A = this chain, B = another copy of it.
Amino acid sequence: MNTRSPTECPAWARLLAQAESTRTVHLRDLFASRKLVAEAAGVRYDFSRQRVDAMTLRLLANLAGERGFPEWREALLSGKPINSTEKRAAWHTALRAGASSPHEVRETLARMRTITTKLRAEKQFKRIVNLGTGGSDLGPRLLADALGDGALEVRFTANVDPRDLERALEGAAPDSTLFVIASKTFTTQETMSNAAAAKKWGGKAFYAVTSNVEAAKQFGANEILPMWDWVGGRFSVWSAVGFAAACAIGFDRFEEFLSGAREIDTHFAQAPLEKNVPVLMALIGVWNANFLGAATHAVLPYSNALRLLPAYLQQLEMESNGKRVDREGRPVEYATAPVLWGAEGTVSQHSFHQLLHQGTQVVPADFIDVDSDKTLTANCTAQADALAFGTDDPKLPPHKQYPGNRPSSVLSFEKVTAENLGRLIACYEHKVFTQGVIWNINSFDQWGVELGKELAKKILTKGK
């Protein structure tokens, strides 16, 4: 594999020069003459309002090529151990490969179908409470919140703060509550502390999603669904980690969620770089972060159903690519993941859009636009246009002037369905991977969370 630093790639220097030479070009002038849209399985990526021209796009694609992107993609999709510090694969695509999935995956999905269908039909349990944190929480929580149909009430507890579990148990009774304990090691502090509290509360029914079968049995779990070493937590919503979500939305929807992602996997594997949505998302992110100097990236879903998407993507992008050493262990001399943040539109308009339009720093944004609501789409388009074009009237008083030239993309699809949500998340997953390749970092480990855990343990032990 290519171990050359991105800054040593010929395209990098040319991109620096390109950024310099196009510095004064305004989006008002760029936009007039074009429509830049790529499409993947019903997801349209409109990047017309990005500060790129044809040359920039070519150079960015060259950079990916010079970093050996096709080889890396092949390694990802075929399950090679690309998570080098942990000597593991990052084979989340195998979780949604349908008939081509490994036997254990298909078997697990079949079990999930049987169990969730029974739970939703028999209603022995009125409340499902998922106990998990990070990757064992954010994905199923997003999916259940966006698409839950009310057949079962499914809640999520992630914080070690007891108040979080209290909220999830409001109005619940021990006999009709099922707890799902999701933890790969079955030792996660938050999750195990909440599981113990759930037992103390009188909880009787516990399912486990874990790779530590022994510990789950010891705890008294009635059902144990597997987690695998070759799937990272933040890429695991497609696995049994999605169990609580499948309870909330039904297994047919859950399979549509998988099949949507599968379509994106095919697109990502096959589409030429200049039409490849996740690759374009990645390249434009690199352009904004490394060549235009953006420190953050806003995600603004114009959809109340997708209100938890920014929180989900915070983990996906920042835990994957918030890294400071490259695959060879050298400190990097360029920016890696920007801070990802955001909130649902139109709510965000009445909160922080002031800064987006008139603040001193440029915040590139992804707008998520759902075609089916005209008012939301109008607001979304208006915001993207206002950011890009601003006002061009020097006679306005200064506080009413908008400089514009602030880049954004619009990701759009017809409706918030399980399929489209699967497609959307898969696009971001492959974006993250592609950026990791360009930045020459391992997107699949998270050593940066260990020191805090150790120190907390020390403080707690000392306090006793």
Contact = CB atoms under 8 A, between A and B. Distances in A.
Contacts of A446: 354
A18 interface: no
Chain A interface bracket (under 10, 10 to 19, 20 to 34, 35 or more) = 35 or more
Interface in A319-368: 319, 321-325, 329-332, 334-341, 343-347, 349-361, 363
A345 B456 CA distance: 13
B315 A450 contact: no
Contact of A363 (B160, B339, B352, B451): B339
Interface in A232-247: 233
Given A374-B463, A398-B329, A459-B382, A349 B295 contact: no
B339 A355 contact: yes
- State the copy count for this chain: 2
Interface string A135-172: 10110000000000010000000111111100100100
A449 B357 contact: yes
Given A134-B350, A354-B322, A451 B190 contact: no
Contact of A451 (B330, B375, B391, B454): B391
B159 A353 contact: no
Contacts of A341: 296, 339, 341
A119 interface: no
A379 B160 contact: yes
A215 interface: no
Given A159-B344, A296-B296, A397-B329, A336 B360 contact: yes
Given A350-B449, A378-B460, 15 more contacts: A160-B379, A161-B373, A318-B351, A322-B359, A329-B398, A337-B359, A349-B453, A353-B452, A357-B448, A357-B452, A358-B448, A381-B455, A382-B452, A382-B456, A399-B445
7 nearest A-B pairs in the assembled complex, by CB-CB distance: A322-B355, A134-B350, A295-B295, A382-B455, A358-B448, A329-B398, A322-B359
